[in-house]
Amino acid sequence: MENQSRTRTQRGRYLRWVGVGIVLAGWGVLRLWQQRAALRTRWVAPGSEVSPSPTRVEVEPEPIEIPIVSTPQAPETLAEAETPPVLPAVAETAIAREGDTSKDAITPVVDDLCRIAGIGPKVAALLNTAGVSTFAELAAATPEHLREALQTAGLRFMNPDTWPQQAELAAQGDWEALASLQTALKGGRRV
């Protein structure tokens, strides 16, 4: 009768605490069982042979040979020292493989288009297949041409309106102006 005199809320609390008590008791029994099982594995019956405990074998690490890398040599003539560095952002720039002098050895430089806000690796790969692989080529492309290439690939929600402007700054090497422009953008879009 005592249980019937309680309200529904009081019965719920009571049963909840009973459940918590059962869970804690079960957890305690489980811990005791695990401890006893661990003791049983260590216990050896009297008169039986005791196997020696395994010994730890220390292994010395083998020495690592570090290859010596030669430092770059200083230019021997003043003419070699005064040659200006070639900017990788220009579309006509090319890199020849070492030792090859044939025209087949020249490969065009590909810029990291992911530095443009709004272009990720997937879009950069898509633009490379569409023939836009440098900042100069992206700056020369129209937003309509870029949007058409994106739509044929199924990327309809991309907005390439600011990409040529950003690519022009990147092709010129004006990274500070590019960074200030990108802070005004959100995901490559004007806000």
DSSP 8-state class, residue 82: T
- Helices H / strands E in the chain, number of each: 8, 4
Look-up of token digits 């020495």: 63
pLDDT in tens, 25-78: 998 998 888 888 777 665 555 665 655 555 666 777 777 777 776 665 555 544
Kindly report the number of other CB atoms within 10 A of residue 105's CB atom.
Answer: 13
Q: Where are the domains of the chain?
A: 2-41, 113-190
pLDDT in tens, 83-99: 444 334 333 444 444 45
**168, 139 in Cβ contact below 8 A?**
yes
**Which three-class secondary structure state does DSSP give residue 70?**
coil
Nearest to 110, CA basis, from 94, 134, 131: 134
Q: What angle do CA 111, 142, 176 make, to 5 degrees?
A: 50
